[in-house]
Amino acid sequence: MKPKHFLIIVFIIWLVTVYMLFGPNSRARKARVEVESAGGGRTEVVFWHAMGGVLGDVMNEMIANYNAQSDKYHLKAVSMGSYDTLSKKLLASLIAKEAPDIAQNYETLTKKFITHKKIVSLDELIEKDIAAGGEDIRKDIIPVLLRNNTYDGILYSFPFNKSVPILYYNKDMFREVGLDPEKPPKSYQQMIEYCKKITDYYGKQPGKYDYCGFASSAANVWTYLCKVRACGGKIVSQGSDGILYSHFDEEPAVKALKILQELMRYRKKTALDKDGKERTVTFRYAKEGQGFDHQNDFTSGKVAMIEASIVSKVYMQNSIRFDWGMAPMPGYEMEKDGEPYLNMGLILSGTNINIFNNGDPEKIAGAWDFVKWFTSTENGSYWSRNTTYLPVRISSVTSPEMMEARRNDSRLNAGYESLEFASFEPRLTAWFEIRDMLADVLEKATIDLAEIGPEGELPDAKTNYCDLMKKDVDAILKYVTDTDDALE
């Protein structure tokens, strides 16, 4: 080989090496290598998870930092790719007896693991810490997150990546149509009026008749249940006979469905096409889409408001080219004793952490050591600031770093302001199945609106959908043998 060619090859290799070490994905790559490296004689703790993308990069970076500072334990993170795959693998581990040492998990499966005595009581680990002079970490957990992870008085799981839904809104569109950009809608009634104003305005702008006030993902059970709570409703209760029953035939659930109907129903109007010529068009005050269509419509400036997780901020913010804000989800205007008030209510989402009882005290101790480290005041604050997930600890919310982040970006406040009226879905072993059933009914409601079009009569929300939810859900609940002590 000629010396000149050799030097060129060496130079290219050097460039590639520098890029790999310091390029745009260096943090994720470095963290991934360190997470996957050998334990070096320490006790290995296996962690199954489904965190990917930017959020997974942050988690892997933190795991690498944990491994670097721990001389007793090495956490081996194993990605399952998706929450669906993770749930299926965890269920299979019940039979195969090959569970990980620690894993992300939803409440429904946590109930199954409690029944089969596959997971450790975290209260016992906390009591050991207290006996050894450590803190009672329970006193520093955000109350609703503590309740969400406590079953029959025992802390069986620990909050990990928890979120709430948020209202994202386009301040520039608000200004253009004459709305105050610093006053997002406080109630669903007000939001409907905003949507009407926004949609009517853009119908008069050439080529913008398809712009609208609001967008959401189709058949979204999470945000529908949030509306039920905002309307003052319950989801599932237990009767005096011990049988579980749902509340979907009651007024709050009907009101929540009517909100969707009012936003999504088809109407006709005269609008201007891109050439400025009048034409009759079919339109809606809001639109539904598959997957993340609603987020794409928002970032492209075609809808003024969307409801999405606080975590959506991470994925959308670099694509947004306009002035925008985040606010708590709207409430519902109600009356009590003749006095008006705004009822608020929404539901948590996201997974918790289970520590599995695999018969090895050292692995259990290592798993608990990681949980405490990851959710400590400092690290919990870092996790929340870089992912927008809710921190676990009260001290993380009020930490100097978090307070500075909230001052620098006031949008972050919306999630924390929502915590005081947050609750969670029923923690029942059959809840996944019930959620699928609710999604089917919500999808039917949307399809029916398309079929009747702008001329048809709006289907009755109670008899066509809410009574159907009640009937189908109660048919399952009748045979559910477990219950949830957090039910109202």
pLDDT, tens only, 278-328: 989 899 999 999 999 999 999 999 999 999 999 999 999 999 999 999 999
Q: Is 119 helix (H, G, I), strand (E, B) or coil?
A: strand
pLDDT band at 39 (very low <50, low <70, confident <90, very high): low
* CB distance 462 to 239 below 8 Å: no
| Average of per-residue pLDDT values in the chain | 92
pLDDT band at 460 (very low <50, low <70, confident <90, very high): very high
| 114 pLDDT more than 60 | yes
Looking at residue 25, its pLDDT comes to 52
pLDDT band at 272 (very low <50, low <70, confident <90, very high): confident
Looking at residue 9, its pLDDT comes to 46
User: Which residues, listed in sequence order, are joined to residue 126 by a DSSP beta bridge?
Assistant: none
Looking at residue 168, its pLDDT comes to 99
The answer to whether domain 22-156+351-423 and domain 165-347+425-477 are alike in fold is yes
- How would you class 215 by CB atoms within 10 Å of its CB: exposed for 0-12, middle for 13-18, buried for 19 or more? buried
* CB distance 209 to 281 below 8 Å: yes
pLDDT band at 454 (very low <50, low <70, confident <90, very high): very high
Looking at residue 446, its pLDDT comes to 94
pLDDT band at 14 (very low <50, low <70, confident <90, very high): very low
- Joined together, the tokens standing for residue 378 give 């400092």
- Joined together, the tokens standing for residue 453 give 């079009």
> Which helix (DSSP H) or strand (DSSP E) does residue 48 occupy?
strand 43-49
- Joined together, the tokens standing for residue 358 give 């695999």
Q: What is the reported pTM?
A: 0.90
Name 61's Cβ contacts closer than 8 Å, sequence gap at least 6: 27, 28, 30, 31
Q: Is 358 helix (H, G, I), strand (E, B) or coil?
A: coil
d(CA 232, CA 253): 9
Name 208's Cβ contacts closer than 8 Å, sequence gap at least 6: 202, 272
133 Rama class: left (phi>0) / alpha (psi -120 to 50) / beta = left
Looking at residue 462, its pLDDT comes to 98
Least confident residue range of 45-54, 236-245, 263-272: 263-272
d(CA 359, CA 93): 15
- The whole-number average pLDDT for the span 55-84 is 97
Correct CATH for 165-347+425-477 of 3.40.50.300, 3.90.45.10, 3.40.190.10, 3.20.20.370: 3.40.190.10
- Joined together, the tokens standing for residue 430 give 């059959």
> What are the b/e assignments for 74-105, b being 16+ CB within 10 Å?
bbbbebbeebeebbebbeebeeeeebbbbbbb
Place of tokens 């260096």: 26
Looking at residue 94, its pLDDT comes to 81
Looking at residue 26, its pLDDT comes to 44
Domain ranges (residues) in the chain? 22-156+351-423, 165-347+425-477
> What are the b/e assignments for 355-378, b being 16+ CB within 10 Å?
bbbbeeeebbbbbbbbbbbbbbbe
CATH class of 22-156+351-423: alpha beta
Least confident residue range of 9-23, 81-95, 297-311: 9-23
| 36 pLDDT more than 50 | no
